[in-house]
Amino acid sequence: MAGQRRETPGLKVELAGEDASRTEVRIGDVVFGAQALAVIAGPCAIESEEQYLQAAVAVAQAGGRCLRAAAFKPRTSPYSFQGLELEGLRLARMAREVTGLPVVTEVLDTRMVETVAESVDCLQIGARNMQNYELLKEVGMSGRPALLKRGLAATVEEWLLAAEYLLAGGSDQVILCERGIRTFETATRNTLDLNAIPVLRERTHLPVVVDPSHGTGRRSLVVPMARAGVAAGCDGLIVEVHPDPDHALSDGFQSLDAEGFRGLMEAIEPVARAVGRSL
C-alpha cells in the first residue's frame, strides 16, 4: 500500500489515515457512506411512462432509496435504442414526485450536463466514460453529487484518479460504483470485482456502491453477489429492476422484477446486520 500511495501523493480522494473521517454523500436526503446502506434501483432504461412509474413504485415499496433514471443510453451499436432523452428526464421528475425518491441519471455529453443537473439529483458517469475527462470536469463543477462507475479495464488507481477529476472541481460529493471488470471468463458478462471494496476502503474516504446487475449480467447471480458486496463492506447497491424483464428494451436478462427486488432487499438485510450495518 505504501508504494501504491506514493504514486498519487496528496490526492483529494485519498484517505488521510486510518482514523480519518469518511465522506458522506447525499443524493437528495439519502446518505451514502454512513452506517445505513442505501439501495438505488430502477430499469436499465426509461422506456415509457407506464413502465417507469411501475418500476419506480415497486422500488419505493420494497425499500429502495433512490431511483435509477436512465434517459440517455450509451449503446454498443448505433442502431440500438438510445434512450428517451429529454422525455426521459420528464418521466424521471414525475417518478420522483410520485415516489418521493431522488433520481440518478447518467450523462453522456458535456453539452447536456447543465440540463441534466437541473432535472435530477445525482449525475452518473458510466463505465465507458470513466476516462472522458472533459465530462468529468463538467460534472465536477455541476453542483450535483456524482456516481462514478469503474471502467471495464480500469485499475483502482486509474479509477481514483478519475474521481480526482471530479473532486478537483471543488465538491467531495462522489460515490464510486464497482460494476464488473473485463476478464477472460465468459460464464459471467463481466467479473464483479469485490476485492475493490476493501481496497478502496483503505485508500479513499469516498463511499462505494456495488452493481451486481451489470457486474454479473445474469439475474440469478444478483442476490448472492449483492449479499457478498454487502459482506465485503460496500455502502450501498445499484440494481436493475424492471416490471417485465422479459420485454425490456435492454438488459432484461439481468433485471429483477418487483418480486425479485423485494427478495433482494430481504436477502441483504441480515447480511448488513451481520457486518454492523443497517438498511
Residues at the site binding its own copies, with contacts judged by CB under 8 A: 1, 4, 8, 74-79, 108-111, 128-129, 131-135, 137, 151-153, 155-158, 161, 164-165, 168, 181-188, 191-199, 201-202, 215-216, 218, 220-221, 224-225, 227-233, 270-271, 273-275
With respect to its own copies, which residue has the nearer C-beta, 100 or 224?
A: 224
| Separation CA 136–CA 126 (nearest Å) | 11
State the nearest-atom distance from the C-beta of 58 to its own copies, in Å: 24
With respect to its own copies, which residue has the nearer C-beta, 27 or 228?
A: 228
The three grid cell numbers given for residue 192, joined into one nine-digit string: 464483479
State the nearest-atom distance from the C-beta of 156 to its own copies, in Å: 4
With respect to its own copies, which residue has the nearer C-beta, 97 or 185?
A: 185
The alpha carbon of 6 is separated from its chain's Cα centroid by a whole number of angstroms, namely 28
Contact at 8 Å (CB) between 142 and 114?
Answer: yes
State the nearest-atom distance from the C-beta of 48 to its own copies, in Å: 23
Please provide the DSSP assignment of 165-194 as one string: HHHTTT---EEEEE--B--S--SSSSB--T
State the nearest-atom distance from the C-beta of 134 to its own copies, in Å: 4
With respect to its own copies, which residue has the nearer C-beta, 49 or 253?
A: 253
The three grid cell numbers given for residue 149, joined into one nine-digit string: 462507475
- List of E strands, the chain: 25-27, 30-32, 38-42, 66-68, 103-106, 122-125, 146-149, 174-178, 208-210, 236-240
